[in-house]
Amino acid sequence: MNSKLMRSESNGQVLGVAAGLAKYFDMDVTIVRLLFVLFTLMGGPGILAYIILAIIMPEEGSAHADRATHVDLGEKGPMAAA
């Protein structure tokens, strides 16, 4: 499993959400796309889930994606008193 969940800029058809999920879970992107369509046609939250994921997932290679995955704890760590 990939360690970062990001929208794909190279393999995406619309916004790269399905391609990013497929890369993260090491699946074929076609299966993820078919699952979104299946959930949408069955009255499920397919389109809503896609839109929410497109908003919250950073795009691959963006500055935000690099910042979101790096936390600097300094020399003392998160539990150190100020």
Task: For 16-63, write each residue's pLDDT tens digit.
Answer: 899 999 999 999 999 999 999 999 999 888 889 989 999 998 888 765
Q: For position 72, what pLDDT does the model report?
A: 47
Q: What is the phi/psi pair of residue 8, to 5°?
A: -85, 130
Q: CA Rg, the chain, in Å?
A: 16
Amino acid identity, residue 81? A
Rounded Cα gap, residues 23 and 2, in angstroms: 7
φ, ψ for residue 26, nearest 5 deg: 55, 55
Using CA atoms, how far apart are residues 32 and 76, in angstroms rounded to an integer?
42
Phi and psi at residue 59, to the nearest 5°: -80, 140
| H/E run at residue 45 | none
Task: Indicate the pTM of the whole model.
Answer: 0.67
Asked whether the predicted pLDDT for residue 78 surpasses 60, the reply is no
